[in-house]
């Protein structure tokens, strides 16, 4: 797989329509296993470790690797990266030999030695300790203040942005808005956690973190790991089309995040910290 290629592939199908079966062409989302390698340590004792194997949709490979490592607590700043090498089905991230780039790395706490599926970012965690995390940033209490109508309007701004989804109908999107409702970033992937890694990685590369004045919009349900990743970036508000899990709500309560689900039409549910929502 070429990791920077288009994430769509044509496939011949047999379509039943109007009582007839005929050959047709359908557009499918590409999903391929990608191995992530990390090189780190002092010059005299460099280590090269396999961090994970993830099912990924092509595109934004460097941003995904950067965001993934940051959310796993293995990277503090893009300045710690010496180079990123992108192969056909492998991404290798080489960190600088500066002590601040590798002294905090303890792979026994974060190892994912099993393949992680696109639907569950925690597949491959070796024990329950992998479910705990130390956020790099915390959102500011009760800030930003936004209205319910403001949240409802965000999804409408994304209709023209999900390019691959429009062709395949099988991708998840993660979008970043500022407190004024301006759409800043949109990333897509067949895995909802991959899309968020791409978005956070791009924001990290552009030196936008912490994202304490921003809103995260998600196209699907909200699992624990999505809240964990958002908290690492300091995001104060998560709004999603789907429902959250119990662990996602608990993580939001711990992290000080306003969690909004079932954002459809003109209504939604707020599961934590409603103080940020202004009455209309």
CATH 3.10.20.10 intervals, the chain = 32-131
Looking at the chain, which residues constitute the CATH 3.40.140.10 domain(s)? Answer: 146-278
Q: How far is CA 90 from CA 37, 93, 268, in A?
A: 8, 10, 40
- pLDDT tens for 40-68 read 999 999 999 999 888 888 889 999 999 99
Q: Which of 138, 166, 139 is nearest to 186 (CA)?
A: 166
Mean pLDDT of 175-204: 93
pLDDT value, residue 27: 75
Catalytic residue among 71, 94, 120, 270: 120
> What is the pLDDT at residue 168?
45
- The residue that leads in pLDDT, 127 or 209, is 209
Q: Which residues pair with 147 in a beta bridge?
A: 278
Instruction: Please confirm, yes or no, whether 94 is among the known catalytic residues.
Output: no
pLDDT higher for 221 or 16? 221
* pTM reported for the whole predicted model: 0.86
Cα dihedral: 121, 5, 185, 202 (round 10): 70
Q: For residue 132, what pLDDT band results from cuts at 50, 70 and 90?
A: low
* Residue whose C-alpha is closest to residue 229's, from 205, 251, 259, 246: 251
Structure-model confidence comparison of residues 278 and 86, the more confident one: 86
| pLDDT more than 70, % of the chain | 80
Q: 32-131 architecture in CATH?
A: Roll (3.10)
- Report residue 115's pLDDT band, with 50, 70 and 90 as the boundaries: very low
Question: SS3 string of 140-188?
Answer: CCCCCCEEHHHHHHHHHCCCCCCHHHHHHCCCEEEEEEECCCCEEEEEE
Q: What is the pLDDT of residue 118?
A: 45
Instruction: State the pLDDT at residue 256.
Output: 92
CATH code at 146-278: 3.40.140.10
pLDDT at site 31? 78
């Amino acid at each position: 797989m070429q990791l920077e290629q288009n994430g769509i592939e044509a496939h011949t199908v047999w379509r039943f329509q109007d009582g007839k079966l005929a050959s047709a062409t359908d557009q499918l989302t590409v999903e391929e296993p990608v191995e992530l390698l990390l090189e780190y340590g002092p010059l005299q004792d460099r280590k090269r470790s396999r961090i994970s194997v993830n099912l990924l949709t092509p595109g934004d490979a460097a941003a995904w690797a950067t965001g993934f490592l940051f959310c796993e607590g293995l990277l503090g700043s893009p300045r710690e990266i010496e180079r990123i090498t992108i192969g056909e089905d492998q991404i290798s991230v080489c960190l600088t030999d500066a002590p601040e780039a590798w002294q905090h790395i303890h792979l026994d706490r974060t190892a994912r030695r099993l393949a992680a599926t696109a639907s569950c970012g925690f597949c491959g965690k070796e024990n329950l300790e992998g479910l705990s995390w130390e956020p790099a940033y915390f959102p500011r209490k009760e800030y930003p203040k936004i209205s319910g109508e403001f949240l409802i309007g965000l999804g409408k701004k994304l209709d023209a942005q999900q390019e691959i989804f429009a062709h395949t109908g099988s991708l998840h999107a993660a979008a970043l808005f500022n407190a004024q409702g301006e759409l800043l970033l949109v990333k897509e992937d067949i895995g909802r956690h991959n899309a968020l890694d791409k978005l956070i990685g791009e924001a990290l590369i552009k030196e936008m973190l912490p994202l304490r004045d921003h809103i995260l919009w998600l196209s699907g349900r909200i699992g624990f790991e999505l809240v964990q990743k958002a908290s690492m970036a300091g995001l104060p508000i998560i709004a999603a089309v789907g429902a959250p899990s119990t662990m996602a709500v608990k993580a939001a309560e711990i992290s000080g995040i306003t969690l909004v689900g079932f954002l459809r039409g003109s209504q939604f549910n707020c599961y934590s910290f409603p103080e940020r929502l202004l009455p209309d």
